[in-house]
Amino acid sequence: MNKILYLTSELFPLIKTGGLADVAGSLPPALTRLGQEMRVLLPAYPEVMRKVKQPSLLASTRYYNQEVKLLETRLPENGLSLWLVHCPAAFDRPGGPYINGNGEPWHDNALRFAIFCLVAVDIALSRLNLNWQPDIVHGNDWQSGLAPALLQLHSRRPATLFTIHNLAYQGLFDHQTFLDLDLPAGLWHLDGLEFYGQLSFIKGGLAFADRVNTVSPTYAREILQVKFGCGLEGLLQHRRHRLSGILNGIDSRVWDPKHDKYLKAPYGTENLEQKSINKTLLQQQLGLPVDSDIPLIGMISRLVEQKGLEIILQGMADLLALPVQLVIVGTGDTHYELQLSHWANRHPDQIKVIIGYNEPLSHRLEAAGDLFLMPSSFEPCGLNQIYSLRYGTLPLVSNVGGLADTVVDADAENIKIGTANGFVLPNQTADDLLATLRRALGLWQTDTWRQLQLTAMGNDYSWRSSAKHYLDLYHLALGDRRGAMG
Ligand code: ADP
Ligand code: GLC
C-alpha cells in the first residue's frame, strides 16, 4: 500500500472543463480499490465549495501574504478523500478554473497555481503537521508542474510522477513572474523552468519528476517528434527512459448506456434497437426532421483548433450535401462558435450547434448518434471516442494519439477478423474526412454496421487494467527514489 497525493486542477463531478476532470474523478477511486491510500488535492473553487459537504479544517498557512487553509471532505459517490486548497484571493471568484467570463486567462494564474503547488510541497514534506505524508506525489498537467521542481530540491522527499494530459497547455509566464513568485534562482536554466526566456510550469514536471507519463502509448511516442512535441521534444527525448504512456480508462458507471440517468431509453447489446428511441427524442428536442433513416453524426467538444474544427469547417459544404444530420455541442474559441452557428442558421434542418457546456445533452447525444466525429489534429487520449464506443455510436477519428489506440478502422481485413469498431482517417485533411464519412455511410444500416456496434460496445476501457499500470509506475518511481537516496 502506498500513500499517494494526487494533484489536480479539476475533478468530476465538482468542476470540469475537459477530460482531466473525468480522469481525476475516476482514476483515484480505481487506485483506492487496488489498495492505495489516495488523497486528492484540488483548489477550492466556489463551484466546488457549493457542492461538497461541510469540509473540516486540516491546517492553515500563508503564502505570498495570502491566507491559505487546507480543508478535508469526502466525495459521497465513492468515499474519495478530497483535500481542498482554500485561498479566497486565488480561487474564490466567478468564472472558470483557468479563464474569466470573457474567455481570457486569469491574470494571476501563475500565482494561483504556485500557491496550489506550495501546499502540495508542504504536505509532501510533512510541514503542516498532518500526521500523513505521501510516498508519492502524482501531479497532472502544468497546474501542478512546480511541485516536482520544488520537491527535487530536498533530499528527503516522496517520489514524484507527472502525467501529461496535454502538452499544448504549458503554463508560460514572463521572467518577471518567476522573480515575483520568489522561486529558487537555481531553477532558472535551460534544463529547469526556463523555456525560451519564459517561465514554464509544465517543464517543472517534465524535467524533474522521477517518472513522467502521458495518457496513451501512441501520444507518448508522438511527443518525441517535432510535430507533436510543442517545442519540448528535446527534453522529452532526453528523459525518454523515464517516459511512458498509459491509456485512460473511463468511469463505466457514469458512462453506461444501460444505466445512464439522462436517458429515457437505456439500452445494451441485447436490446440495441432501443438506441434509436434516443435518436428520435433528440431529433424532436432539437427540432430536426424526425427520421431514423438519416444518419445522425454527433460531436461533443471543446471548440479549439486541436479538435479538428479547421477540417470540419473546410469540408462543411460537402458534408452537408450528404444525407446526414449533424449535432455539435461545445464551447470554446469564439470564431469557431460563430462559424459553426452560421452553418446551423443556414441549414436548420441538417445541423444544430449548441454552444455551452451541457452534461445531460452530452449523454443524450452519445446515445442518439449513429456516428461520432473526432478528427483531432492531436489527441493525447480522448475520452469521447471511448464513450462513443460504449454507446455503439461509431467513432470517426483521425489517426493520432489515443484515437489511434482505441479505434480500429473498419477496413475489409479488420471487419473480417472482427476487431473493427469505427472509422479512421488516413490523414487529417478535409478530403480524407469526407472520403471516410462516405465510406462509413456505405456501411450504414447493413449487418456489418451492427457487427461494428457490437464489437465497439464489447470493448473494455474501464480502469481495470489501466489503473494497474499506474501501480507499476508508482513502484518504478519509488524504486528510482530509493536508488537516488542510495
Ligand atoms: P479534452 O480533455 O481534450 O477536452 P476528452 O475527450 O478527453 O477531451 O474529454 C472531454 C470531456 O469533456 C468529455 O467528458 C466530454 O463529454 C466533455 N465535454 C466537452 N465539451 C463538452 C460540452 N460542451 N458539454 C458537455 N460535456 C463536454
Ligand atoms: C486532455 C487531452 C485529452 C485527454 C484528457 C484526459 O485534455 O486533450 O486527449 O483525454 O486530457 O487525459
Residues 354 and 398 reside in one and the same domain: yes
In a domain, 256, yes or no: no
> Are the beta carbons of 5 and 137 closer than 8 angstroms?
yes
In a domain, 30, yes or no: yes
Minimum CA distance residue for ligand 2 atom 11: 165
Provide the pLDDT for residue 484.
Answer: 80
Beta bridge partners of 424: 397
In a domain, 260, yes or no: no
Provide the pLDDT for residue 330.
Answer: 97
210, 220, 378 from 241: Cα distances, Å? 11, 11, 23
> Are the beta carbons of 175 and 190 closer than 8 angstroms?
no
Sheet-wide strand order for 394-397: 351-355, 325-332, 296-303, 371-374, 394-397, 423-424
> Are the beta carbons of 420 and 410 closer than 8 angstroms?
yes
Residues 445 and 471 reside in one and the same domain: no
In a domain, 258, yes or no: no
Given the DSSP bridges, would you call strands 56-63 and 66-74 parallel, antiparallel or unpaired? antiparallel
Q: With 0-12 CB in 10 A as exposed, 13-18 as middle and 19+ as buried, what is 58?
A: middle
Residues 44 and 143 reside in one and the same domain: yes
Given the DSSP bridges, would you call strands 394-397 and 423-424 parallel, antiparallel or unpaired? parallel
Instruction: Specify the number of domains making up the chain.
Output: 2
Residues with CB under 6 A from ligand 1: 18-19, 22, 300-302, 329-331, 357-359, 362, 381-384
Q: HEC states along 395-461?
A: EEECCCHHHHHHCCECCHHHHHHCCCCEEECCCCCHHHHHHHHHHHHHHCCCHHHHHHHHHHHHCCC
d(CA 453, CA 391): 8
In a domain, 209, yes or no: yes
d(CA 20, CA 408): 24
Residues 333 and 443 reside in one and the same domain: yes
Choose one of 374, 383, 463 to mutate for the ligand 2 pocket test, by most ligand atoms within 8 angstroms of C-beta.
Answer: 383
Low-confidence ranges of the chain (pLDDT < 70): 486
> Is the CB–ligand 2 distance for residue 364 below 6 Å?
no
Residues 450 and 314 reside in one and the same domain: yes
Ligand 1 center to 11 CA (angstroms)? 13
Provide the pLDDT for residue 486.
Answer: 63
Ligand nearest to the CA of 219: 2
Range of the domain at 371: 269-461
Residues 222 and 322 reside in one and the same domain: no
Ligand 1 center to 405 CA (angstroms)? 18
The single residue listed with the C-alpha cell 476501457 is 461
Q: What angle do CA 276, 357, 292 make, to 5 degrees?
A: 15
In a domain, 19, yes or no: yes
In a domain, 422, yes or no: yes
Residues 326 and 187 reside in one and the same domain: no
Comparing CA positions, the residue from 387, 391, 443 lying closest to residue 415 is 443
Residues 317 and 411 reside in one and the same domain: yes
Residues 128 and 218 reside in one and the same domain: yes
Residues 475 and 358 reside in one and the same domain: no
CA dihedral sign, ordered 176, 178, 184, 188? negative
Choose one of 15, 163, 302 to mutate for the ligand 1 pocket test, by most ligand atoms within 8 angstroms of C-beta.
Answer: 302
> Are the beta carbons of 217 and 188 closer than 8 angstroms?
no
In a domain, 26, yes or no: yes
Given the DSSP bridges, would you call strands 56-63 and 37-43 parallel, antiparallel or unpaired? unpaired
Q: What pTM did the predictor assign?
A: 0.97
Which CATH number belongs to the domain containing residue 331 in this structure? Answer: 3.40.50.2000
Residues 34 and 180 reside in one and the same domain: yes
Residues 227 and 197 reside in one and the same domain: yes
Ligand 1 center to 359 CA (angstroms)? 9
